[in-house]
Amino acid sequence: MSRRPDPSPEPEKQVVIALSRMPVETVTVTRLRAIVSGHVDWNGVMALASRWQVEPAVFGNLRRLFDAELSPELVQQLGDLERTARAHALSATMRLADLVNALAAAGIPAIVLKGPAIAIAAYGDCSRRTFADVDLLLHRSDLMAARDLLVTRGFAPDFSSEMVGALVNGQHALEFSDSRSRVELHWSLLSRHLSFDLDPEELWDRAVEIECAGTRLMALAPHHLFLYLCAHGAKHEWMLFRWLCDVAQLARGLTPSEAQQVVRLAERTHSKRLLALGLRLARETFGEEESPFPEEAYLRADDTEALIAVARSRVGFTFGDAPRLLPRRLAAIHPYAEPLTFWLRSRERTRDRLVCAARFVFAPAPRDFHGGSIQKMLRPARLAVHALRRVVHAS
Query: Is 344 domain-assigned?
Result: yes
Residue 257 CB partners (closer than 8 Å, separation 6+): none
Residue 76 is assigned to a structural domain of this protein: no
10 with 54, same domain?
yes
Find all residues with CB under 8 Å of 7, minimum gap 6, and list them. none
253 domain residue, yes or no: yes
In the DSSP assignment, the letter for residue 218 is E
Three-state secondary-structure class, residue 159: coil
Query: Among residues 302, 323, 344, which one ends one of the domains?
Result: 323
Q: Are residues 131 and 48 in the same domain?
A: no
In this structure, are 357 and 292 located in the same domain?
no
Query: Does residue 83 belong to any structural domain of this protein?
Result: no
The verdict on residue 78 lying in a domain is: no
Q: In terms of domains, do 153 and 198 share one?
A: yes
Using the Cα atoms of residue 292, residue 298, residue 299 and residue 300 in order, give the sign of their dihedral: negative
What pLDDT, on a 0 to 100 scale, did the predictor assign at position 158? 95
* Residues contacting 197, CB < 8 A, separation 6+: 269
Residues 5 and 22 in one domain: yes
Which residue, 193, 220, 247, sits at the end of a domain? 220
Query: How far is Cα 301 from Cα 317, in angstroms, rounded to an integer?
Result: 19
Are both 366 and 340 inside the same structural domain?
Answer: yes
Q: What is the CATH classification number for the domain harbouring 119? A: 3.30.460.40
Strand partners, 186: 137
Shared-domain flag, residues 300 and 369: no
136 DSSP 8-state letter: E
- Structural domain count of the chain: 4
- Same domain? For 215 and 226 the reply is no
Amino acid at 149: L
Looking at the structure, do residues 334 and 314 belong to the same domain, yes or no? Answer: no
Mark whether 249 and 197 lie in a shared domain: no
Instruction: With CA atoms as reference, report the closest residue to 132 among 154, 119, 115, 111.
Output: 115
- Strand order of the β-sheet with 174-177 is 156-157, 174-177, 182-186, 134-137, 111-112, 215-219, 208-212
Per-residue pLDDT of the chain (395 residues; tens, 9 = 90+): 344 444 445 899 999 999 999 999 999 999 999 999 889 999 999 999 999 999 999 999 999 999 999 999 999 999 999 999 999 999 999 999 999 999 999 999 999 999 999 999 999 999 999 998 999 999 999 999 999 999 999 999 999 998 899 899 999 999 999 988 999 999 999 999 999 989 999 999 999 999 988 889 999 999 999 999 999 999 999 999 999 999 999 999 999 999 999 999 999 999 999 999 999 999 999 998 899 999 999 998 888 999 999 999 999 887 666 788 988 877 777 788 899 999 999 999 999 999 998 888 887 776 665 555 555 555 666 666 555 565 556 55
What residue numbers bound the domain in which 175 lies?
99-220
Residue type, position 95, single letter: R
Q: Is the peptide bond before 9 cis (omega within 30 degrees of 0)?
A: no
- End-of-domain residue from the set 323, 347, 376: 323
Neighbours of 222 (CB within 10 A): 20
Is 124:60 a contact under the CB 8 Å cutoff? Answer: no
pLDDT at 3: 40
Residues 295 and 337 in one domain: no
Say if 80 falls within a structural domain.
no
What integer pLDDT is reported at residue 2 of this predicted model? Answer: 40
C-alpha–C-alpha distance, residues 184 and 382, integer Å = 29
Q: Does residue 92 sit within a domain?
A: no
Q: Does residue 215 lie within any of the structural domains?
A: yes
Q: Are residues 234 and 332 both part of a single domain?
A: no
